[in-house]
Amino acid sequence: MKLEFILNDKAVSLEVDPMKRLLDILREDFGLTGTKESCGEGECGACTVLLDGKPVTSCLVNAVHAENKQVVTSEGIAQKPLGKLLIACFDETNAVQCGFCFPGFLVSSYYYLKNDGEPNLEKIKTALSGNICRCTGYQKIFDSVMMACHRKQEQEK
Amino acid sequence: MKFYKPKNLTELFQISEKIAGKKYFLAGGTDINVQIKKKMITDEPIIYINHLEELQGIRETDESIIIGSLCSYQELLNSPLIAKYLPFFRASLVNFASPLLQTMATIGGNIANGSPTADVTPLLLVLDAQIILMAKSKMRHIPLRDFFTGYKQFNLKKNEIIGGVQITKNAETGYKTFYKKVGSRKALTIAKVALAGLKNSEEYKLAVGSLNEYPRRLSKIEEYLASTNTPESVKLEELLKQEITPISDMRSDKDYRFQVCLNLLLEFIQI
Amino acid sequence: MKKVRKFDAVPKLNGSYKFLDDYTRPNLLYGGFLYAKFHHGKLKQIKFPKKFSKDEFTIVSYKDILGENIVPEPENDQPFLVEQEVMHYGQIILGIAHPNKKKLKQFIDNIEVEYEEMPAITDIEECLSDENNVFGRVLEIKHPAEIGNTSHLIHTKRIYRTPHQEQAYLETQAMLAEYDKEKKEIFVLGTMQCPFFVKSALDAIFGDTIHNSVVETSEGIGGGFGGKEDFPNIIAGITALLAYKSGRPVKTVLDREDDIQITTKRHPSRVEVESYTDPITHKIRKLNIDYRLDAGAFQTLSPVVLSRGVLHASSGYAVEDCYIKGRLFRSNTPSNGAFRGFGAPQALFAIESHIDNVAAQLGIDPYTLRKKNILKIGKEFPTSQPIIENHLEDCLEKVIEISDYHEKYREYKQWNLEHKVKKGIGLSLGLHGGGYTGNGEKILNSKIKLVIEKNADINIYVANTDMGQGAHTTLAQMVDEAIEHPHNKTRVVIPNTNKAPNSGPTVASRTIYIVGNMLRNLIKEVKKELGFDNLETYVKAHQADFPREFRSLFKPDPQAIFDDETYKGVAYKDYSWAACVVEITYDPTTYEINLEKCWNVLDIGETVNPEIARGQVEGGVVQALGWGLSEFFYKKGFGRKQGFTDYTMLTSRDIPELNIEFIHTDNPIPKGLGEIPMDYPAPALRNAFLNATGVGIDEIPLTPEKIFANLEEK
């Protein structure tokens, strides 16, 4: 099929098997290797991207699902003001370890920060519960997102 | 793998009719893509339906809420209609799968997959939901409890699809509610035991998941509880043995499943 | 002790940092493996699918191996590729490569392997309870003492069991290999912990056919935890063989499912502990420990895991009469290997659980029993290594204080009488010897190199990898701080066996402790030798001398002597110490444990970068609690679970509130850090359950099913 969609705010199109995984399209056809494959069955969140503004595991999304939709990857989020804020917080807390899961965490955190943003630990835990991290024990990830929520609130004052 | 993308429902039925053998409908893709990865689906034709407007959305009639089969969990959670008329249902959905899977996973897909562990089904069963089945020129409503006939077996006619579910607006009203899903962890988990219950002074409604070949109501226990003010646990245990057939698999053990179901039942009675 | 940020955090977040699968090459082939789908048997025939043209594929079997078909390991007993007899499910039979990933997979999936089945041992209990399965060297530590009549002592004998654990690094194992025909050189790029191990594997598999082999790590290494210590040798060897045969670059990236099926795991254990305790003084007078590990089908590095296991088996307790025996058992499952803790978590689970069982039998609280028997100055390990500091006791006292242990211990007792949902509080001690065991570091003889560039930047050349633990940030920080050089100029160059000297593998909590200390000493010597105050000024003034290279060698402590025959002497020069309190609630309706709080006090010596150190502890503790609560494979009667759906690591919603304190950070050197947080939390969790319910379960994970079955028995 001819697939047209908006990728990181840019209109793109390509000829592709409609069942090709969005994950593979991003990595192979657009070289956006920030989106990672880890479990391949939706149970780790390393491949999280935003599809029409909502977080999805791109290993379970097919080309046909993305037709005429907005797709934002970690690379795209890194360019947005709230994305930059989050990256600064993850950096300051020395939260990142191996980093393989972090682009996925960045996307889930961004969705939470943008759509809710309350500095509430239980809510943050729930928002990140589709993303597995094996290195950090999550604590510093919570700290970073909490920090970003507070900063966003201050900025909005 | 042949792929079809019908323009509308009419075309969907045309395509579907032409395919004699096994075929899969692709909605949110959260199950089908796992099955493809595990080589449970290899060459069977795929019909994409996630874009079909006729099967989307949540709307109300005077008496009911109608949920399109393509409605995602995220839509259910964000729907003001669901929040207003079915708050218990909504609250029970919050921890399904994960926030990432909730975006894509659909209510129709959860039912159609036919898994004994399907999260939404026990809830729909106690809410006396009707399932809407659509064919080329016909539509029928049947109680969801009559829809399942065996492991991944349905009361579904040839070329019929799941159009959605219908729940009456007052399905929860005036009832004490109970829902517990027991998994291996708090998120990203598949139910080992699930029990949903409603009760008022006159009746009990109980449904279980992961304990039979398909999620089902516990009618004998419902009747027994309605008939007595002092339920005996020995009797409950005896009836439960008749109603559930838990198995041991890699996720859990049959004895554990049975006991937890009984414990939850006793907890439900006490609320 | 300034706050230094990780140099790689931002590129990892925005996706620009490259992990192995993010690299490509022109003319690339994808590599894959055909592995056995049965436990034990003789290969009879391999039938390739007719619907594919076999010629399109590059295929290597053991016959294509130009050197030796033996993976270099402490015990050289494992082949790269099966010759006749398959010893375990997942053993690799063929390496296969093709330009199309999808086609490669379909081809491999459709290959039929005919075999003659042989009897197999796949059940852990079956393996570990039958002494006929023992293989390899039996280790013994003897610390005999004449304690006289034991009839008045309290006798406690229990068996403790732990399961496999999957490292579950988020980046699966992966290698990219290229062959340069003209130079006769193999180049391997990969995600790994030990580049020189991989190099020795390449040299083994190719023998004299090649002139050189070069191994480099990918920019990012997506977690290791021990899982990328030795298994990369096999993947690299076979992938390189495919590159050699095809003449094209080959990239092999394991699917999660394959990674789980074929790679190494933590050894399951069965540890019998027998003790005799004085009911009046509460001293443990005599201790016998029978420590058993399921090694899998081959020994590989299991003898070293066994060694660390027996050396940690008596934990932080001084016992007059002590005997420890350690043995490896063979099963028809993939060889178990390195995993953070390396035999110590199994050992500590047994002894730390046992202490609580003894306390319960004596009717005293677990703190008192620990306090009475704790290792301190004047006492010694079973190896007769003397104790030189009371830091373990300091950890214990501190954790008791910050967790308000005594008060909660009382309070929960009362609470549990009155409530259905129970509360429990559990205690454990931990210790971990830093670096290789015994004379290991002496034998390793690590080498390091620094280059001071013309612009006064310092480049560090070591073979130690940064797989997320922050080692490269911390190593650079140590060098900078030693000479007050501005942060952000010093870098560890990506490990490459052609550029870096062999500073040893990235294992055994040795990177900062051994290699970091070497770097720090070297740069201090350089400063002294050159006589500078400010490096930048000095380099500017002496431009002609730069770039300049400096090297050094590991200098063993002549006092630290270990006898490998008798297991007597200094097993580890420096121990890290820890004490832990875990609080849980327990719901008897569903038999589920909820993790509430976890308090950790550690002495790891100097904390070079406290935030990085804290992150290591948090991560290790959560891995350990997952091992104790919900992670397992091989439920009897079912195949090894596949994928992350059913290998249930803790999610963000499952973890407890974590509290971490470091003490004795004024120690002049940073000691081992990476492994100790994995060692001690599981028994504290188990002891918290005992405290909550009065039921001591001597086996993990404490799944609701296991709890239910145990309660049913009682």
Per-residue pLDDT of C163-215, as tens digits, reads 999 999 999 999 999 999 999 999 999 999 999 999 999 999 999 999 999 99
> Helix, strand, or coil here: B190?
coil
H or E element in which residue C307 lies: helix C302-311
Mean local confidence (pLDDT), C247-267? 96
Are C343 and C306 within 8 A, CB to CB? Answer: yes
Q: Which residue has the tokens 């391949």?
A: A40
pLDDT given for residue C10 in this prediction: 97
Pair (A29, A69) in one structural domain: yes
Chain C environment of A137 (Cβ under 8 Å): 615, 618-623, 655, 658
pLDDT given for residue C13 in this prediction: 97
Pair (A83, A111) in one structural domain: yes
pLDDT given for residue C271 in this prediction: 98
Residue C623 has pLDDT above 60, yes or no: yes
Chain C environment of A141 (Cβ under 8 Å): 652
- Judging by beta carbons within 10 Å of its beta carbon (0-12, 13-18, 19+), is residue C45 exposed, middle or buried? exposed
User: What tens digit of pLDDT does each residue of A74-107 get?
Assistant: 999 999 999 999 999 999 999 999 999 999 999 9
Partners of C45 in beta bridges: C114
* Nearest residue, CB atoms, C705 vs list B39, B185, B256: B256
Closest residue, chain C, to A124 (C-alpha):
C652
**CATH classification at residue B235:** 3.30.390.50
CATH level 2 (architecture), domain C440-553: 2-Layer Sandwich (3.30)
Pair (A54, A117) in one structural domain: no
Pair (A110, A43) in one structural domain: no
Residue type, C328: L
User: What tens digit of pLDDT does each residue of A25-76 get?
Assistant: 999 999 999 999 999 999 999 999 999 999 999 999 999 999 999 999 999 9
The span from the CA of C682 to the CA of C428, in Å, is 9
CATH number, domain C269-437+566-713, options 3.40.50.300, 3.90.320.10, 3.40.630.40, 3.30.365.10: 3.30.365.10
Instruction: Grade residue C642 by pLDDT with cuts at 50, 70 and 90.
Output: confident
Q: For B13-45, give one letter per residue: b (16+ CB within 10 A) or e.
A: beebeeeeeeebbbbbbbbbbbebbeeebeeeb
**CATH classification at residue A67:** 3.10.20.30
How far CA B22 is from CA of A63, B13, C106, C493, in Å, comes to: 23, 15, 21, 56
The span from the CA of A58 to the CA of A75, in Å, is 14
Look at residue B81 and tell me if it is in a domain: no
Cβ distance of A65 and B187 shorter than 8 Å: no
Tally A–C CB contacts below 8 A: 177
Look at residue B63 and tell me if it is in a domain: no
How far CA B17 is from CA of B3, B21, C532, in Å, comes to: 15, 10, 86
Q: What would the DSSP string read from start to end of C597-618? A: EEEEEEE-B--SSHHHHHHHHH
Closest residue, chain A, to C646 (C-alpha):
A43
Are C153 and C276 within 8 A, CB to CB? Answer: yes
pLDDT given for residue C300 in this prediction: 98
Please determine whether the domains at C20-119+168-262 and C269-437+566-713 fall in the same fold group of CATH: no
pLDDT given for residue C639 in this prediction: 67
Residues 6+ apart with CB under 8 A from C52: C103, C106, C107, C110
State percent of chain C over pLDDT 70.
Answer: 99
Q: Does C261 touch chain A (CB under 8 A)?
A: no
Pair (A65, A94) in one structural domain: no
How far CA C320 is from CA of C120, C163, C373, in Å, comes to: 42, 31, 10
Pair (A67, A16) in one structural domain: yes
Look at residue B93 and tell me if it is in a domain: no
Pair (A68, A6) in one structural domain: yes
Chain B environment of C652 (Cβ under 8 Å): 187
pLDDT given for residue C641 in this prediction: 67
Pair (A14, A61) in one structural domain: yes
Are C338 and C264 within 8 A, CB to CB? Answer: yes
Pair (A84, A137) in one structural domain: yes
Closest residue, chain C, to A80 (C-alpha):
C14
The span from the CA of B142 to the CA of B166, in Å, is 10
Distance from CA of A46 to the nearest CA of B (A): 11
Partners of B166 in beta bridges: B66, B130
Per the structure, the complete domain to which residue A149 belongs is given by: 77-156
Q: Does B233 touch chain C (CB under 8 A)?
A: no
Residue type, A25: I
Cβ distance of C655 and A41 shorter than 8 Å: no
User: What tens digit of pLDDT does each residue of C391-442 get?
Assistant: 999 999 999 999 999 999 999 999 999 999 999 999 999 999 999 999 999 9
Distance from CA of B231 to the nearest CA of A (A): 38
Residue C511 has pLDDT above 90, yes or no: yes
Substitution target from C654, C707, C713 for chain B, most B beta carbons within 10 A = C654
The span from the CA of B55 to the CA of B69, in Å, is 6
pLDDT given for residue C2 in this prediction: 58
Q: Where do the domains of chain C lie?
A: 20-119+168-262, 269-437+566-713, 440-553
User: What tens digit of pLDDT does each residue of C661-684 get?
Assistant: 999 999 999 999 999 999 999 999
Which chains have at least 3 CB atom pairs separated by less than 8 Å from chain C?
Answer: A, B
The span from the CA of C584 to the CA of C567, in Å, is 39
* Nearest residue, CB atoms, B186 vs list C653, C704, C708: C653
User: What tens digit of pLDDT does each residue of C103-136 get?
Assistant: 999 999 999 999 999 999 999 999 999 999 999 9
Mean local confidence (pLDDT), C648-673? 97
Instruction: Grade residue C637 by pLDDT with cuts at 50, 70 and 90.
Output: low
The pLDDT tens digits along chain B (271 residues) read 899 999 999 999 999 999 989 999 999 999 999 999 999 999 999 999 999 999 999 999 999 999 999 999 999 999 999 999 999 999 999 989 999 999 999 999 999 999 999 999 999 999 999 999 999 989 999 999 999 999 999 999 988 999 999 999 989 999 999 999 999 999 999 999 999 999 999 999 999 999 999 999 999 999 999 999 999 999 999 999 999 999 999 899 999 999 999 999 999 999 9
Residue C150 has pLDDT above 50, yes or no: yes
Cβ distance of C645 and A43 shorter than 8 Å: yes
Chain A environment of C266 (Cβ under 8 Å): none
pLDDT given for residue C1 in this prediction: 46
Chain B environment of A59 (Cβ under 8 Å): 33
Q: What is the DSSP letter of C516?
A: I
Torsions phi, psi for A99 (to 5 deg): 85, -5
Residues 6+ apart with CB under 8 A from C31: C95, C96, C97, C175, C177, C238, C239, C242, C250, C251, C252
Q: What is the DSSP letter of A63?
A: G
Helices B254-270, C704-713: axis angle to 10 degrees equals: 90
Are C569 and C385 within 8 A, CB to CB? Answer: yes
Chain C environment of A21 (Cβ under 8 Å): none
Per the structure, the complete domain to which residue B266 belongs is given by: 176-270
Distance from CA of B24 to the nearest CA of A (A): 13
pLDDT given for residue C669 in this prediction: 94
The span from the CA of C213 to the CA of C200, in Å, is 9
How many domains does chain A divide into? Answer: 2
Mean local confidence (pLDDT), C279-292? 98
For C617, the token pair is: 């502890």
Reference B133, options B123, B124, B143; nearest CA is: B143
pLDDT given for residue A60 in this prediction: 98
Substitution target from C256, C645, C647 for chain B, most B beta carbons within 10 A = C645
- Provide the pairing of β-strand C174-180 with C185-190: antiparallel
**CATH classification at residue A91:** 1.10.150.120
Pair (A20, A35) in one structural domain: yes
Cβ distance of A61 and B29 shorter than 8 Å: yes
The span from the CA of C495 to the CA of C502, in Å, is 10
Cβ distance of B264 and C589 shorter than 8 Å: yes
Domain boundary among the residues B12, B37, B52 is at B52
Q: Angle B82-B84-B88 (CA atoms, 0-180°, nearest 5)?
A: 65
Instruction: Grade residue C489 by pLDDT with cuts at 50, 70 and 90.
Output: confident
The span from the CA of C672 to the CA of C660, in Å, is 16
How many domains does chain B divide into? Answer: 2
CATH topology of domain C20-119+168-262: Aldehyde Oxidoreductase; domain 3 (3.90.1170)
Pair (A12, A59) in one structural domain: yes
> Helix, strand, or coil here: C682?
helix
